[in-house]
Each structure stands twice: as C-alpha cells, then as structure tokens.
Amino acid sequence: MNGDAQSAPRLKGFGASMLLLVAFLAAWQWGPGLLHVPAFIVPPLSDVAHEFVRAWRFEHLLLHTGVTIAEVLAGFILGSLLGAVVGYLLGMSPVAEFALSPYILALQIAPKVAFAPLFILWMGFTVYPKILVAILIVFFPVMVNVLTAVRTVDPDLVNLARAFKATRVQIFWKIEFPTSMPPMFAGLRIGATLAVVGVVVGELVGGNAGLGYLLSFGEGQANTPMVFVSIVMLTVVGGIAYLGVILIERRVLHYLPARRVGGNV
C-alpha cells in the first residue's frame, strides 16, 4: 500500500518530465523556423542530429568524448580526494584551519580560467592542464562540506568516546567520518558537474582533443550545429557523472531513510 502511494507521484513526475522533453524538442525543431531565426544562430534539431552523425563518422566524436570523460574522471577523483583529506585535516585541527583557510580562500577566489593558460605554459598542450583546472574547481566544495561536517559533530559523542578511552583514530573512524559522509556526498554531487566545467575551460584555452576542443573548432568554422552537438554531449557527460555519484551515494548511505515523495509520512 505504501509502495503504491510512493510510486504514483514518481510515475506522474516521470510522465511530466517526458512531456516537457517532447515539448522542448518540438520547439527546438520548429520554433526557429516559425520565429524566422536564421539557422546559423539557432539550427533546428534535425540539423543538429545530422551534424551529430557527420561528426561521429568524420570528426572522431567518440574519441573526443572519451578524452573528455577520462579527464573529467581524473580531475573529479583527484580533486575530491584532495578536498576530503584537507577538509578532515582542517576540521580536526583548529590551528591548521586558522593558518591555512586564508590561502585556500584566496585560491578559490582567483578565477580558474586564469590558471588554465598558466598550466599550459608549464605543461604544454597535454591532458595535465585540463585535469589540474578540474581539480581546482572540484576541491573547494568537497573541502568546505567535509570541514563543516567535522566541525559540527556533536561534542557530547566525542566526549563520551573519550570517556571510554577511545583513541583519536577511533573517534575519527567511529564518529567523525560517518557523520561527514552525507555532507561529503553533497559536495561530490556539486563537484561532479564542476569537473566538466573545469575540463572544458582547459580544452577551450589550449586543447587539441576533447569536446571543448571540438566546440572551439566548430566555433572557428562558424559551424553552429557542431557547437550544439558539443554542448549536448558535454551535458550528457555531466549528467552521467552526477548520476554516478547518486548511485554510489545510495550504495554507501543505504542506512539513511529514503526521501518521501509527495510529502507523505
């Protein structure tokens, strides 16, 4: 009975989402013509689909997509690990937080686009500048979420563990680490999409492969459909990365109660 009550709103939401998608695709196909918008500004969906097939066959679209996916994965994993480690260290050491926070904040405030040319000067037109930009962008949201979670752990639990002679390592693994997991996954969701942004910034500035390079190449040729194909593929890559984090989160945090749909209790 409860399962039926939960599935009905989900089916309605899925149906509404599909209707919106169909309406969007129909507006994309026939809207520019009805509004007399030139195809070189907003090409209809059929032109984009035709360009997708051409790029797949002649422009190595699959290869460029694979390069971008690999760079996104590397930047996301390394940036997340670095952000989590620094977040835990700062959360457990108020002195380190006070000493390092101004410099981490300054690094976050500096525009990431400005680092891309510098990394290219240092490492050339390789994959490393793109991965480094992604690491910089992913690092901060993960670090802040982990730091906030560790700093807001219930002090009574920590004091109770200390009363039972728990070591610092035991307090971390039994109390602080499990408590920080939900906020950390919230940061990972944000980082999964930001990793795509970081990689694209690097590919636009100095890439010779990847979807960002393909986007820049299409812009240089005034090939608007190719630009749209690159944007769509980047959206798909970002969506897959976000969905992957959600699936891992559900496996890791399976003990948390499922979110109610429709506000039912």
pLDDT in tens, 19-50: 998 888 888 889 888 888 888 888 888 888 99
Q: Which of 127-131, 217-221, 254-258 has the lowest mean pLDDT?
A: 254-258
Domains in the chain, start-ordered, CATH in brackets?
A: 45-252 (1.10.3720.10)
Q: Which of 81-90, 101-110, 255-264 has the lowest mean pLDDT?
A: 255-264
- pLDDT for residue 142 is more than 70: yes
- pLDDT for residue 262 is more than 80: no
> Which pLDDT score is estimated for 265?
41
- Confidence grade of residue 4 (pLDDT, cut at 50, 70, 90): low
Residue 138, by phi and psi: left (phi above 0), alpha (psi -120 to 50) or beta?
alpha
The whole model's pTM is what? 0.84
> Which pLDDT score is estimated for 189?
92
> Which pLDDT score is estimated for 261?
43
Cα end-to-end span (Å), the chain:
13
What integer is the mean pLDDT of 79-88? 91
> Which pLDDT score is estimated for 253?
81
| Distance separating alpha carbons of residues 263 and 124, to the nearest angstrom | 53
What integer is the mean pLDDT of 97-126? 81
Dig out the tokens for 159 from the structure.
């004091």
| Distance separating alpha carbons of residues 51 and 63, to the nearest angstrom | 16
Cβ proximity of 76 and 195 under 8 Å = yes
pLDDT tens column, 187-228: 899 999 999 998 998 888 877 888 888 988 888 888 889 999
> Which pLDDT score is estimated for 245?
92
> Which pLDDT score is estimated for 164?
81
